[in-house]
Amino acid sequence: MELVIKNLSKTYSNGVKAMNDINLTVPVGMFGLLGPNGAGKSSLMRTICTLQDPDAGSIMFGDLNVLKNKDEVRKIVGYLPQDFGFYPGVNAVELLNHFALLKGIKNDAERKQSVEYLLQQTNLWDVRKRNVNDYSGGMRQRFGIAQALIGNPKIIIVDEPTAGLDPTERNRFLTLLGEIGLNKIVILSTHIVEDVYNLCSNMAIMNKGEVKLVDRPLAAIDKLKGKVWHSFIDKNDLDKYKKEYHVLSTRLVEGKFQINILSDIQPTLTFEASSPNLEDVYFAHVNK
């Protein structure tokens, strides 16, 4: 079953147009939502989760109208926001039990079984009696996924879940997400290109409230073959190149200033062809 978003728009009271005619079809599996801060990703996530209403548009999940049947939607959606807090002095078992009650699991035995299963699934069983407020960043994120999975939802939405995690915890967390995404819709909203490349079979790139690209990561990369060029330049010449070419990105490489350009032909003889990657795809649609 697919999540179908049509003509979704939202302008806040301060005049910021967070979503401008968003159209997306999200199938079962991992779906990456890439974009810089302020792209509209979080606004879209909150709208799908029924936490805010759009000004226009529709969201359907099969026959379920997401915007008109909020109580039913909340039973099938699990959400891990970018920032979330914890009650102080409460351990993981007690807090998950509380969330399960709020989710509508009234049967004590069913609730106990669900809580224990989720703690094991997220590798938190051994620290289940510790206060969640004392968890490390990675453990808190895994607890956040545990609460998002209460009630066996059909749609999981995670907003910037790996920000601030060390490499070990990030890898563990992404592996967990990948396993969950085998039979559910998992929307991974992030600005970390590598996470989408490693996990997602489908993706969209957003910027300034608009969808700039919808594609499969490998297919999007393939379309840039023969069109990405790099060279080392004097930093003072950057503005000149920006006026003449579509500059994708710049970076320091061993102390030298490297520039990547998108062009159908070799920009100048000093440029060499590059093998494109998903970062190039991202910048091609964001840095215009």
Residue 255 has pLDDT above 90, yes or no: no
- pLDDT for 165 equals 80
Residue spans of alpha helices (H) in 91-199: 92-102, 108-121, 137-148, 167-180, 193-199
Measured CA to CA, the distance from residue 255 to residue 57 in angstroms comes to 49
Contact 39, 18 (CB under 8 A): no
Can you say how many angstroms the Cα of residue 105 is from the centroid of all Cα atoms in its chain?
A: 28
- pLDDT for 82 equals 79
Measured CA to CA, the distance from residue 189 to residue 157 in angstroms comes to 8
- pLDDT for 24 equals 97
Contact 227, 264 (CB under 8 A): yes
How many residues does this entry show for the chain? 288
Measured CA to CA, the distance from residue 102 to residue 150 in angstroms comes to 10
| Residue 251 tokens, joined | 């970076």
- Give the helix, strand, coil percentages of the chain, each rounded to 5: 35, 30, 35
- pLDDT for 104 equals 87
How much of the chain, in percent, has pLDDT values that exceed 70? Answer: 100
Lowest mean pLDDT among 96-105, 134-143, 159-168: 159-168
| Residue 202 tokens, joined | 């489908």
Across all residues in the chain, what is the average pLDDT?
Answer: 93
Query: Band of the pLDDT at 171, cuts 50, 70, 90?
Result: confident
Residue 253 has pLDDT above 90, yes or no: no
Q: Helix 92-102 to helix 108-121 angle, to the nearest 10 degrees?
A: 120
Query: E strand or H helix at 45, and its extent?
Result: helix 41-48
Mean pLDDT over 263-284 rounds to 96
Residue 252 has pLDDT above 80, yes or no: yes
User: What are 52-84's pLDDT values in tens digits?
Assistant: 999 999 999 999 999 999 999 999 999 998 777
Q: 3-215 domain in CATH 3.40.50.2300?
A: no
Query: Band of the pLDDT at 50, cuts 50, 70, 90?
Result: very high
Q: Measured at the alpha carbon of residue 42, what is the angle toward residues 36 and 45, in degrees to the nearest 5?
A: 135
- pLDDT for 170 equals 83
Mean pLDDT over 125-148 rounds to 91
C-alpha closest to that of 280 among 175, 197, 187: 197
User: What are 80-117's pLDDT values in tens digits?
Assistant: 987 777 778 899 999 999 999 988 899 999 999 999 99
